[in-house]
């Protein structure tokens, strides 16, 4: 596609949350759009070098999707809750000639991930703190994958949290300045750090590998990799199942 045609299509599909780069040019040109997104998944293949079947949740406009799908041998299923974000992702993926991606328009709090099959690793960045029942998503992820790459906020101020369903959480009203990166609901629940770890354990993941963390008085960030302990295959060692 010629640059003018790319620009025309990009303008039609906009406004964009972030611009995108193609052939060393940033599109859409001549606008105030934010620069291309530096995805949070940069260390993904350092941690999961053998991942070939990947499920991405909250794909936005496909910035990380392109990065994952550009690796030889990889296939990606990318789920996104906003149709307009997904149509921009679809355009950029097509532009890059990436045919190894399936895009799914769904709310991860309503949709049964098991209908998508099984995956080596789930990439979940910038999404867990946009949910009303984040512990359910971690369990749904564990249903379809033994690996999880998670980048999320958690809440650091113990004075403003409360207990629900066995977790300590903060009620947050969504007010991110960019509405198209927000939750699909007006309020969300953020874990505190111990509850995030508990929810991972409850979902069957082992002690996570913390890749990066920023601790602050209220809004904290963490990037981690978690793996489910492998179930022993029935009969392999004469027993039915190993530890979860
Ligand atoms: N993963 C990207 C984008 C994070 S922004 C990154 O880390 O840079 C959060 C994205 O999740 C937005 O695209 C938003 O539309 C989507 N999203 C929010 N709630 C969702 C839900 N319940 N189901 C599916 N997608 C959701």
How high is the pLDDT of residue 229? Answer: 80
Nearest of 213, 188, 176 to residue 130 by alpha carbon:
188
| pLDDT tens, position by position, 27-46 | 998 778 899 988 778 899 99
Centre of ligand 1 from the C-alpha of residue 129, in Å? 10
pTM, to two decimals = 0.93
Span from the CA of 189 to the centroid of ligand 1 (angstroms) = 15
pLDDT in tens, 203-213: 999 999 999 99
Taking CB atoms within 8 Å and a gap of at least 24, the contacts of 104-107 are 104/77, 104/78, 104/79, 104/80, 105/79, 105/80, 105/81, 106/79, 106/80, 106/81, 107/81, 107/184
CB of 192 within 8 A of CB of 219?
no
The mean-pLDDT minimum among 18-27, 127-136, 170-179, 198-207 falls in 170-179
Ligand 1 surroundings by CB, under 6 angstroms: 37, 39-40, 58, 60, 64, 79-82, 85, 107-109, 125-127, 130, 181, 183-184
Report the distance separating Cα 174 and Cα 188, nearest Å: 7
Say how far apart CA 105 and CA 133 lie, in whole Å: 19
List, in order of start, the domains of the chain with CATH numbers: 1-36 (no CATH), 39-227 (3.40.50.150)
pLDDT tens figures, 123-171: 999 999 999 999 999 999 999 999 999 999 999 999 999 999 999 999 9
Q: Which of 60, 65, 125, 174 to mutate to test the pocket of ligand 1 (most atoms within 8 A of CB)?
A: 60
Q: What is the mean pLDDT of residues 80-102?
A: 97
Q: Which of 56, 58, 105 gets mutated to test ligand 1 (max ligand atoms within 8 A of its CB)?
A: 58
Per-residue model confidence (pLDDT) at position 139: 98
User: Does the pLDDT value for residue 236 go beyond 80?
Assistant: no
Residue 242: the pLDDT is 42
Task: Supply the pLDDT for residue 17.
Answer: 94
CA nearest ligand 1 atom 25, residue:
81
Minimal-distance CA residue to ligand 1 atom 26: 81
Residue percentage of the chain with pLDDT more than 90? 86
User: Residue 215 half-sphere exposure, CB side, CA atoms within 13 Å?
Assistant: 4
> In this predicted structure, what is the pLDDT of residue 238?
38
Q: Give, using CA atoms, the residue closest to atom 19 of ligand 1.
A: 183
């Amino acid at each position: 596609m010629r640059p003018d045609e790319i620009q025309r299509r990009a303008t039609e599909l906009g406004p964009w949350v972030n611009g995108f780069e193609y052939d060393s040019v940033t599109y859409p040109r001549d606008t105030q759009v934010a620069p291309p997104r530096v995805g949070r998944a940069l260390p993904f293949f350092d941690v999961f070098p053998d991942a070939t079947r990947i499920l991405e949740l909250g794909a936005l406009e496909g910035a990380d999707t392109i990065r994952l799908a550009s690796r030889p041998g990889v296939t990606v299923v990318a789920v996104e809750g906003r149709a307009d974000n997904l149509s921009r992702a679809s355009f950029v993926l097509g532009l890059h000639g990436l045919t190894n991606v399936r895009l799914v328009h769904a709310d991860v709090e309503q949709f049964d991930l098991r209908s998508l099959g099984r995956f080596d690793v789930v990439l979940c960045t910038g999404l867990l703190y946009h949910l009303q029942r984040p512990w359910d998503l971690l369990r749904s992820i564990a249903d379809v994958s033994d690996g999880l790459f998670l980048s999320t906020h958690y809440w650091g101020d113990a004075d403003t949290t409360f207990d629900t369903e066995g977790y300590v959480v903060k009620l947050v009203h969504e007010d991110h300045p960019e509405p198209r990166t927000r939750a699909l609901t007006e309020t969300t629940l953020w874990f505190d750090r111990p509850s995030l770890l508990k929810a991972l354990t409850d979902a069957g993941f082992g002690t996570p590998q913390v890749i990066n963390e920023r601790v602050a008085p209220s809004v904290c960030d963490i990037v981690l990799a978690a793996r489910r302990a492998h179930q022993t295959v029935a009969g392999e060692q004469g027993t039915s199942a190993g530890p979860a």
